[in-house]
Amino acid sequence: MSLILAISTSSTLFEVMIGDNSTVLFNDAYVLSITDKKDISVLVAESLAKMNLTPQDIKSIIVDVGPGGTSLVRTGVAFGNGLAYSLGIPICPVLSVELVGIEVWEKYVLPVVITVKSVKDSAYVALYDGKLKTVQYGIMTEVVGNLIANCQEFVVAGAHRAQIITAFPDKKIHDSGVLNGSPKYLIEKHDSFKEKYVTFPQFAHPITEQTTHIAANTPSV
Protein backbone atom coordinates (compact mmCIF):
# COMPACT_ATOMS: atom_id res chain seq x y z
CA MET A 1 0.00 0.00 0.00
CA SER A 2 1.11 3.54 -0.72
CA LEU A 3 -0.78 5.46 1.90
CA ILE A 4 -1.56 9.15 1.45
CA LEU A 5 -2.42 11.47 4.31
CA ALA A 6 -4.66 14.38 3.23
CA ILE A 7 -5.06 17.44 5.44
CA SER A 8 -7.47 20.30 5.00
CA THR A 9 -7.71 23.21 7.45
CA SER A 10 -8.73 26.09 5.20
CA SER A 11 -12.11 26.43 6.93
CA THR A 12 -13.13 25.86 10.53
CA LEU A 13 -13.94 22.28 9.52
CA PHE A 14 -10.63 20.51 9.99
CA GLU A 15 -10.48 17.31 7.96
CA VAL A 16 -8.01 14.45 7.79
CA MET A 17 -8.21 11.61 5.31
CA ILE A 18 -6.12 8.55 4.71
CA GLY A 19 -6.22 6.97 1.31
CA ASP A 20 -4.61 4.41 -0.91
CA ASN A 21 -4.21 5.31 -4.58
CA SER A 22 -7.54 7.03 -5.32
CA THR A 23 -9.64 5.51 -2.57
CA VAL A 24 -10.50 7.17 0.71
CA LEU A 25 -9.95 4.53 3.38
CA PHE A 26 -10.65 6.69 6.39
CA ASN A 27 -11.75 10.21 7.10
CA ASP A 28 -12.32 12.23 10.23
CA ALA A 29 -13.26 15.82 10.80
CA TYR A 30 -14.24 18.24 13.49
CA VAL A 31 -15.47 21.80 13.61
CA LEU A 32 -12.88 23.99 15.24
CA SER A 33 -14.07 25.92 18.26
CA ILE A 34 -12.18 28.31 20.48
CA THR A 35 -12.84 26.16 23.53
CA ASP A 36 -11.63 23.03 21.79
CA LYS A 37 -8.24 21.84 22.88
CA LYS A 38 -8.07 19.47 19.94
CA ASP A 39 -5.76 20.35 17.09
CA ILE A 40 -4.74 18.89 13.76
CA SER A 41 -2.03 16.72 15.34
CA VAL A 42 -4.59 15.07 17.60
CA LEU A 43 -6.89 14.46 14.65
CA VAL A 44 -4.07 12.88 12.64
CA ALA A 45 -2.90 10.76 15.57
CA GLU A 46 -6.45 9.54 16.24
CA SER A 47 -6.98 8.77 12.55
CA LEU A 48 -3.79 6.73 12.35
CA ALA A 49 -4.63 4.90 15.57
CA LYS A 50 -8.13 4.02 14.37
CA MET A 51 -6.59 2.46 11.25
CA ASN A 52 -3.92 0.73 13.30
CA LEU A 53 -1.21 2.62 11.43
CA THR A 54 1.92 4.46 12.51
CA PRO A 55 3.13 7.76 11.01
CA GLN A 56 5.85 5.76 9.26
CA ASP A 57 3.16 3.99 7.20
CA ILE A 58 2.35 7.28 5.46
CA LYS A 59 4.22 7.55 2.16
CA SER A 60 3.04 10.98 0.99
CA ILE A 61 1.09 13.98 2.25
CA ILE A 62 -1.33 16.16 0.33
CA VAL A 63 -2.35 19.44 1.91
CA ASP A 64 -4.89 22.17 1.25
CA VAL A 65 -2.92 25.44 1.05
CA GLY A 66 -5.93 27.77 0.88
CA PRO A 67 -7.16 30.34 0.24
CA GLY A 68 -9.17 30.30 3.45
CA GLY A 69 -8.70 31.44 7.02
CA THR A 70 -5.05 32.52 7.04
CA SER A 71 -4.09 31.15 10.45
CA LEU A 72 -6.17 28.02 9.87
CA VAL A 73 -4.45 27.28 6.57
CA ARG A 74 -1.03 27.81 8.14
CA THR A 75 -1.93 25.33 10.89
CA GLY A 76 -2.44 22.50 8.40
CA VAL A 77 0.43 23.50 6.13
CA ALA A 78 2.92 23.83 9.01
CA PHE A 79 1.86 20.43 10.31
CA GLY A 80 2.00 18.80 6.88
CA ASN A 81 5.40 20.27 6.11
CA GLY A 82 6.79 19.21 9.49
CA LEU A 83 5.50 15.66 9.13
CA ALA A 84 6.77 15.32 5.55
CA TYR A 85 10.19 16.62 6.63
CA SER A 86 10.45 14.34 9.66
CA LEU A 87 9.36 11.26 7.70
CA GLY A 88 11.42 12.18 4.63
CA ILE A 89 8.40 11.90 2.32
CA PRO A 90 6.98 14.20 -0.39
CA ILE A 91 4.20 16.74 0.14
CA CYS A 92 1.73 18.03 -2.43
CA PRO A 93 0.20 21.52 -2.06
CA VAL A 94 -3.32 21.87 -3.52
CA LEU A 95 -5.46 25.02 -3.61
CA SER A 96 -8.81 24.89 -1.79
CA VAL A 97 -10.50 26.52 -4.79
CA GLU A 98 -9.36 23.67 -7.01
CA LEU A 99 -11.26 21.22 -4.80
CA VAL A 100 -14.39 23.35 -5.18
CA GLY A 101 -13.82 23.58 -8.94
CA ILE A 102 -13.48 19.81 -9.33
CA GLU A 103 -16.68 19.14 -7.39
CA VAL A 104 -18.84 21.72 -9.18
CA TRP A 105 -17.45 21.17 -12.68
CA GLU A 106 -18.17 17.44 -12.50
CA LYS A 107 -21.83 18.25 -11.95
CA TYR A 108 -22.34 21.15 -14.42
CA VAL A 109 -19.52 20.81 -16.99
CA LEU A 110 -19.51 24.61 -17.22
CA PRO A 111 -16.92 27.22 -16.21
CA VAL A 112 -16.94 27.65 -12.44
CA VAL A 113 -16.18 30.95 -10.68
CA ILE A 114 -15.11 30.36 -7.09
CA THR A 115 -14.65 33.14 -4.54
CA VAL A 116 -13.13 33.16 -1.08
CA LYS A 117 -13.62 36.12 1.25
CA SER A 118 -10.70 38.31 2.19
CA VAL A 119 -10.46 41.76 3.77
CA LYS A 120 -13.07 44.45 2.99
CA ASP A 121 -14.29 44.12 -0.62
CA SER A 122 -11.37 41.98 -1.71
CA ALA A 123 -11.52 38.29 -2.47
CA TYR A 124 -9.63 35.42 -3.99
CA VAL A 125 -11.36 34.59 -7.27
CA ALA A 126 -10.65 31.38 -9.18
CA LEU A 127 -11.80 30.14 -12.52
CA TYR A 128 -12.08 26.39 -13.06
CA ASP A 129 -12.99 24.92 -16.44
CA GLY A 130 -11.96 21.29 -16.55
CA LYS A 131 -8.80 22.41 -14.81
CA LEU A 132 -7.84 25.36 -12.65
CA LYS A 133 -7.33 28.23 -15.10
CA THR A 134 -6.40 31.07 -12.79
CA VAL A 135 -6.59 32.44 -9.28
CA GLN A 136 -6.59 36.19 -8.80
CA TYR A 137 -6.84 38.54 -5.87
CA GLY A 138 -8.57 41.93 -5.81
CA ILE A 139 -11.91 43.72 -5.52
CA MET A 140 -14.33 40.83 -5.92
CA THR A 141 -16.76 42.33 -8.45
CA GLU A 142 -13.94 43.76 -10.58
CA VAL A 143 -11.99 40.50 -10.75
CA VAL A 144 -15.12 38.42 -11.46
CA GLY A 145 -16.20 40.96 -14.14
CA ASN A 146 -12.87 40.58 -15.95
CA LEU A 147 -12.87 36.79 -15.71
CA ILE A 148 -16.38 36.31 -17.11
CA ALA A 149 -16.27 39.12 -19.69
CA ASN A 150 -16.61 36.71 -22.61
CA CYS A 151 -18.67 34.04 -20.87
CA GLN A 152 -22.48 34.01 -21.04
CA GLU A 153 -23.11 30.99 -18.83
CA PHE A 154 -21.22 29.79 -15.81
CA VAL A 155 -21.59 28.42 -12.27
CA VAL A 156 -20.76 30.20 -9.04
CA ALA A 157 -19.35 28.63 -5.89
CA GLY A 158 -17.85 29.95 -2.72
CA ALA A 159 -18.61 32.95 -0.54
CA HIS A 160 -20.17 35.50 -2.92
CA ARG A 161 -22.64 33.46 -4.98
CA ALA A 162 -25.72 35.65 -4.40
CA GLN A 163 -23.69 38.83 -4.83
CA ILE A 164 -22.34 37.70 -8.22
CA ILE A 165 -25.78 36.62 -9.48
CA THR A 166 -27.12 40.08 -8.56
CA ALA A 167 -24.14 41.97 -9.97
CA PHE A 168 -24.29 40.33 -13.44
CA PRO A 169 -28.00 40.14 -14.42
CA ASP A 170 -27.23 39.78 -18.15
CA LYS A 171 -25.41 36.44 -17.61
CA LYS A 172 -26.88 32.98 -17.15
CA ILE A 173 -25.48 32.02 -13.75
CA HIS A 174 -26.08 28.77 -11.89
CA ASP A 175 -25.76 28.73 -8.11
CA SER A 176 -23.91 25.55 -7.15
CA GLY A 177 -24.77 26.00 -3.49
CA VAL A 178 -21.21 24.90 -2.70
CA LEU A 179 -19.28 27.01 -0.20
CA ASN A 180 -16.19 24.91 0.50
CA GLY A 181 -14.66 22.04 -1.43
CA SER A 182 -14.54 18.51 -0.17
CA PRO A 183 -11.08 17.29 0.81
CA LYS A 184 -12.03 13.83 -0.47
CA TYR A 185 -10.83 15.07 -3.87
CA LEU A 186 -7.34 15.42 -2.43
CA ILE A 187 -7.31 11.62 -2.37
CA GLU A 188 -9.67 10.74 -5.21
CA LYS A 189 -7.97 13.06 -7.70
CA HIS A 190 -4.47 12.78 -6.33
CA ASP A 191 -3.20 11.45 -9.66
CA SER A 192 -3.98 14.81 -11.25
CA PHE A 193 -1.89 16.59 -8.61
CA LYS A 194 1.15 14.34 -9.07
CA GLU A 195 3.39 16.94 -10.65
CA LYS A 196 2.91 19.25 -7.68
CA TYR A 197 4.67 16.91 -5.22
CA VAL A 198 7.84 18.33 -3.67
CA THR A 199 10.42 17.11 -1.19
CA PHE A 200 12.59 19.13 1.21
CA PRO A 201 14.27 21.61 0.67
CA GLN A 202 11.03 22.46 -1.14
CA PHE A 203 7.79 22.37 0.83
CA ALA A 204 4.20 23.62 0.77
CA HIS A 205 3.40 27.33 1.07
CA PRO A 206 -0.03 28.76 1.87
CA ILE A 207 -1.42 30.90 -0.94
CA THR A 208 -1.31 34.66 -0.30
CA GLU A 209 -2.58 37.65 -2.23
CA GLN A 210 0.91 37.96 -3.73
CA THR A 211 1.08 34.36 -4.98
CA THR A 212 -2.26 33.92 -6.71
CA HIS A 213 -1.30 33.86 -10.38
CA ILE A 214 -0.85 30.31 -11.56
CA ALA A 215 -1.82 30.80 -15.20
CA ALA A 216 -0.60 34.17 -16.34
CA ASN A 217 -2.19 34.16 -19.80
CA THR A 218 -5.69 33.01 -18.98
CA PRO A 219 -7.39 36.15 -17.67
CA SER A 220 -10.81 35.32 -19.12
CA VAL A 221 -12.89 32.45 -20.48
Partner 1 sequence: MSDIILGIETSCDDTAVAIVNAEGHVLSSIITPQTEIHTQFGGVFPEFAGRAHIATILPTVHKAFAAANVSPQDIRAIGVTRGPGLIGSLLVGLNTATALGMGWNKPVIGVNHLRGHLRSADLEMKRIKFPAVILLVSGGHTFLAYMKDPLDIKLLSSTRDDSVGEAFDKVGRMLGLGYPGGPLIDKMAQEGQATIPFPRPMLHQGLEFSLSGLKAAVSRYLDTTENPVFPDVAASFVQAVMDILIKKCRMAIAKNPCVSLVVVGGVAANSQLRAEAAKLCQNMGIELCLPPLCWATDNAAMIALATWDYINTDNLMPPIPQLQLPISDF
- Catalog residues that contact partner 1 under the rule CB under 8 A: 37, 39-41, 44-45, 55, 70-71, 74-83, 85-87, 200-201, 203, 205-206, 208
User: Distance between the two ends of the chain, CA-based, in angstroms?
Assistant: 40
The nearer residue to partner 1, 81 or 176, going by C-beta atoms, is: 81
Q: Which is nearer to partner 1, 40 or 97 (CB)?
A: 40
User: Which is nearer to partner 1, 78 or 165 (by Cβ)?
Assistant: 78
Kindly tell me which of 66 and 183 has the beta carbon lying closer to partner 1.
66
Nearest to 183 by CA among 41, 66, 74: 66
CB of 135 to partner 1, least distance (A): 17
Let me know: does 89 contact 58? Beta carbons within 8 Å: yes
70-87 and 40-50 are packed helices; what angle lies between their axes, rounded to 10 degrees?
A: 50
**Least Å distance between CB 159 and partner 1?**
19
Count other Cβ atoms within 10 Å, centred on residue 8.
Answer: 31
Residue 69 C-beta: closest distance to partner 1, Å? 11
Query: Nearest-CA neighbor of 187 among 96, 8, 41, 62?
Result: 62
